[in-house]
């Protein structure tokens, strides 16, 4: 994370690896249900949403229409799900029961009454994500809870991230030993896919405005020397974490 100060305001630039997210197409149903619970869904809601996501990405049964298919055929306009791998995360918005708030995240009041962004499925799942080790330096708390990290462990990780945005291997090793078996699903760093996100706030006199504006780009770095990177996606307005 890099901070920049200007006369008119301040900005923060983040480089978030896709390995901070879980793989939308191959995440086991059990972990998917845990993720939905961590994002605030009730148990019955999480079970239905998990079944709907798994149904969407699974091949159809020949000659049979699933209960979810029947629901899609009652919509206007009618459609049938792909029954194949998700090609993009936003395809989740077509899945039964997935609201825009659950996908994009929303604003909620914390314990002291402040409105803070709460992440959604967009921050936790990606077609480029991993089911091996997620990047502990940038993973959403809900992702770590879904992988079995305790609430106390997540709090300690988030506190360490506030103090040291980039973990030193020795510091991470000491913390990892205290997290139990779930720490085996956490690691450091990304691979070739990253989201580059910039968040800006304007000044209002001596203070910064509460209004934030973020843009983001999904980039794939290429090992070929003549092709440094590929821009896969650009977003003009994204929900930013309360990073400062």
Compute φ and ψ for 2, nearest 5 degrees.
Answer: -125, 135
Q: Are strands 186-187 and 134-135 parallel, antiparallel or unpaired?
A: parallel
Give the range with max mean pLDDT: 4-18, 118-132, 143-157: 143-157
- What average pLDDT score do residues 215-230 get? 80
**Is residue 201 scored above 70 in pLDDT?**
yes
Q: Is the pLDDT of residue 105 over 90?
A: no
Average pLDDT of the segment spanning 111-120: 70
Confidence at residue 60, expressed as pLDDT on a 0 to 100 scale: 85
Pick the more confident residue, 226 or 118.
118
Give the span between the Cα atoms of 90 and 126, in whole angstroms: 9
pLDDT value for 41:
95
Tell me: the pLDDT tens digits for 50-88?
999 999 999 988 877 788 988 888 887 888 888 999 998
Sign (positive or negative) of CA dihedral 38, 41, 47, 49: negative
pLDDT tens digits for range 159-170: 998 888 788 888
Confidence of residue 244 (pLDDT cuts 50, 70, 90): very low
- pLDDT value for 28: 96
| pLDDT of 149 above 90 | yes
229 — pLDDT class (breaks 50, 70, 90): confident
Extended strands (E) in the chain: 2-6, 9-17, 22-23, 106-109, 115-118, 125-126, 134-135, 186-187, 193-204, 207-208, 213-221, 229-235
What pLDDT is stored for residue 148 in this prediction?
A: 94
Tokens matching residue 162: 């506030």
Give the C-alpha distances (Å, rounded to integers) separating 46 from 68, 75, 99, 114.
15, 22, 13, 27
Tell me what pLDDT residue 117 has. 66
190 pLDDT more than 80: no
Instruction: Say how far residue 30 (Cα) sits from the centre of its chain.
Output: 18
Q: Using only the alpha carbons of the chain, give its radius of gyration.
A: 19
User: Which percentage of the chain shows pLDDT scores above 70?
Assistant: 91
Q: Sketch out the chain's domains with CATH numbers.
A: 1-21+128-244 (no CATH), 27-124 (1.10.40.60)
pLDDT value, residue 82: 85
Mean residue pLDDT of the chain comes to: 86
Query: What's the average model confidence in pLDDT over 208-222?
Result: 83
Task: Give the Å distances, CA to CA, from 235 to 139, 158, 159, 196.
Answer: 20, 26, 29, 10
């Amino acid at each position: 994370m890099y901070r920049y100060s200007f006369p008119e305001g301040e900005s923060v630039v983040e480089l978030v690896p896709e390995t901070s997210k879980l793989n939308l197409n191959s995440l086991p149903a059990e972990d998917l249900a845990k993720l939905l619970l961590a994002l605030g869904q009730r148990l019955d809601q999480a079970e239905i949403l998990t079944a709907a996501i798994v149904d969407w990405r699974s091949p159809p049964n020949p000659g049979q229409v699933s209960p979810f298919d029947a629901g899609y055929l009652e919509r206007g306009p009618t459609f049938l799900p792909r029954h194949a791998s998700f090609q993009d995360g936003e395809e989740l918005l077509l899945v039964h029961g997935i609201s825009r708030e659950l996908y994009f995240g929303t604003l909620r009041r914390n314990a002291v009454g402040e409105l803070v962004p709460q992440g959604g499925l967009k921050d936790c799942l990606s077609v480029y994500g991993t089911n091996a080790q997620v990047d502990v330096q940038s993973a959403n708390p809900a992702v770590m809870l879904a992988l079995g990290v305790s609430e106390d462990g997540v709090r300690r990780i988030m506190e360490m991230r506030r103090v040291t945005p980039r973990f030193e291997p020795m510091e991470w090793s000491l913390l990892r030993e205290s997290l139990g078996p779930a720490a085996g699903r956490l690691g450091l760093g990304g691979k070739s896919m990253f989201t580059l996100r910039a968040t800006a706030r304007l000044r209002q006199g001596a203070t910064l405005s509460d209004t934030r504006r973020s843009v983001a780009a999904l980039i794939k770095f290429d090992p070929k020397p003549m092709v440094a990177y590929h821009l896969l996606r650009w977003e003009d307005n994204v929900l930013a974490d309360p990073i400062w």
